[in-house]
Amino acid sequence: MKFSLTLSALAASTAVTALYIPEPAVRQRLYTVELAPGETQQVTEDQKWELLAQGKHFIDITDYQHIDSRRVAVAKVAFPADITQQGAVKPLLTKLSADNMNKNLQKYTSFNNRYYKSATGKEASEWLLSQVHGIISGAGGNSTRVAASVDPFPHSWLQSSIIATIPGKSSKTIIVGAHLDSINLRNPTFGRAPGADDNGSGSMTILETFKALLSDPTVASGQAPNTIEFQWYAGEEAGLLGSQAIFAQYKKDGRDVKAMLNQDMTGFVKGTLEAGQKEVLGVVTDNVDKNLTAFIKKVIAAYCAIPAIDTRCGYACSDHASANRNGYPSAFVIESAMEYSSELIHGTTDTIDTVNFEHMVEHAKMALGFVYELGFAQGL
Ligand SMILES: *[C@@H]1O[C@H](CO)[C@@H](O)[C@H](O)[C@H]1NC(C)=O
Ligand SMILES: *[C@@H]1O[C@H](CO)[C@@H](O)[C@H](O)[C@H]1NC(C)=O
Ligand SMILES: *[C@@H]1O[C@H](CO)[C@@H](O)[C@H](O)[C@H]1NC(C)=O
């Protein structure tokens, strides 16, 4: 999530920033960022972090200026009117483990940071890839031939995105995604950025969802009607870089993506509770596909123990914007109403003790219901 630092944090940051001295050529390179459809600016990398610190969301469209955001035609998809897969989904929900997510997030937050151009950002991506490999090789027992596979999606920078595919009987594709990087805005390359909530939580939520889904023999053996993908994006914080590279490639390849659900920041509940409100799932209603979003509310009502609340997050606030910009219907569900989401992100204090794992289980239930219902939907 792109958010603002507090003013005091900004003031405190000045001395630390001086430690981060990139090569002059890197420092002066200009990027084109889009802050609203059609509204662009040329900025240096340092200026990107200033925008983030001011709470300004942007897409780095340097490599994708041929797309006019104001003229994107998003595919019209007729999502199912009803939830129909309860019989199969409910037993899978019991396999989602808060303890497992806790254990994985502990490891994930132990990398100094997961910055997209740092050595530890690369290592974190490789660790996550090995976890997905482990889940695939452990799935299915002896009886099911597991059709799933996973590959890194390399970029021009150090950190790779990751794509796990569970082929179905058709190439119609349902995607759930989360970004895998984290950032310390005051010192991106070397600063500590545990990124527990932002967005370690989303990454681990969908990893756990993937594991539970693969325990279903029909899905694991490639017999679902549609193809299901789990994607972890590099370089979200620098302007949705990894997700743009993937969705631009998919568009070029004519891939038939029917729906994308973004999971980013799934574990912070304290803000909501301290405001005297009840725990909820924050369904983003701006810059998303309205019909897909309406369908996701049905998924939440059918499978989650807590209700949905409508919230808004602004243009380019996370990776679903990359799907949308390439013509694919997308949606975003976050941990709470935006005003109560974590303010600790993008620095040293986004730590694992601020994360509520039972809340992450509710996100995972939604993600599982989403991929299963749409994975088995006929006539999308
Ligand atoms: C976390 O993910 C959300 C949604 O994908 C995104 O808006 C936000 O910028 C991410 N936060 C960070 C620190 O990357
Ligand atoms: C959303 O659903 C309505 C009613 O089914 C339909 O008329 C409309 O075209 C759909 N919009 C999109 C963008 O698919
Ligand atoms: C897998 O195969 C081994 C050896 O044939 C057998 O002992 C074990 O019970 C099998 N496990 C499952 C889950 O079928």
- Map out the domains of the chain with their CATH numbers: 74-375 (3.40.630.10)
Pocket test for ligand 1, best of 5, 265, 286, 335 (most atoms within 8 A of CB): 265
- How do 281-284 and 330-334 pair as beta strands? antiparallel
- At 119-130, the pLDDT tens digits run 999 999 999 999
Report which bound ligand comes closest to the CA of 291.
Answer: 2
Average pLDDT over residues 256-264: 94
SS3 40: strand
The closest-lying atom of ligand 2 relative to the alpha carbon of residue 329 is 13
**DSSP secondary structure string, 155-187?**
-SSSPPEEEEEE--SSS-EEEEEEE-----TTS
**112 pLDDT more than 70:** yes
Q: In whole angstroms, give the CA distance from residue 272 to residue 8.
A: 23
Average pLDDT over residues 297-317: 93
What is the percent of the chain with per-residue pLDDT over 70, rounded to a whole number? 87
Q: Are 272 and 307 in contact (CB under 8 A)?
A: no
The closest-lying atom of ligand 3 relative to the alpha carbon of residue 141 is 13
Q: In whole angstroms, give the CA distance from residue 134 to residue 290.
A: 36
Q: Are 178 and 185 in contact (CB under 8 A)?
A: no
- At 38-75, the pLDDT tens digits run 999 999 999 999 998 888 999 999 999 999 989 999 99
**DSSP secondary structure string, 245-308?**
HHHHHHHHTT--EEEEEEE------HHHHHTTPPP-EEEE-SSS-HHHHHHHHHHHHHH-SS-E
Pocket test for ligand 2, best of 72, 74, 76, 82 (most atoms within 8 A of CB): 76
Residue 257, both tokens: 């993506």
Average pLDDT over residues 2-28: 50
Which residues surround ligand 1 with Cβ inside 6 Å? 1-2, 179, 183, 198-199, 236-237, 262, 264-265, 317-319, 345-346
Average pLDDT over residues 215-229: 96
In this structure, what are the phi and psi dihedrals at residue 334, rounded to the nearest 5 degrees?
-120, 170
Ligand 3 centroid to Cα of residue 145, in Å, is 14
Ligand 3 centroid to Cα of residue 143, in Å, is 8
